[in-house]
Amino acid sequence: MTRRRSIMSTCVFALVLAGCASSEQGVLLVDNEERVRGCRPLGTVSDNEMEDLQKKAAKLGGNVALMTPQRKAKGGMFGMQEYMTADVYSCQASK
């Protein structure tokens, strides 16, 4: 019974951590340059998954990512994949 409780506690803890991590992203994706006017540029990120793109933007310290129209094709183990790119900004108030 004690082992079972330990396993359940570990599972609940892992679920709570996963929920916190996803809600901390807080990166607004925009496609209008006006939304980042007056914001501080931090860099550019790219990925083939929107959620991972947001995570990368958050790691740069950004809270707004301006999606760029160009897409990159990158070959790898699983063939050609399209990557989305975004310019990352730090804005005082997410517009």
Tens of pLDDT, residue by residue over 3-55, are 444 443 443 333 333 333 333 469 999 999 999 999 999 999 999 889 999 99
CA pair distance 67, 44, nearest whole angstrom = 10
CA pair distance 94, 28, nearest whole angstrom = 7
Torsion, Cα of 57, 44, 49, 18 (10° steps): -20
Domains plus CATH for the chain? 26-90 (3.30.110.70)
| Closest by CA position to 65, among listed 42, 38, 49, 92 | 42
Does residue 70 carry a pLDDT above 50?
Answer: yes
Q: b/e string for 76-90 if b means 16 or more Cβ within 10 A?
A: eeeeeeeebbbbbbe
- Averaged pLDDT, 64-77: 77
CA pair distance 89, 24, nearest whole angstrom = 16
Return the pLDDT at 32: 94
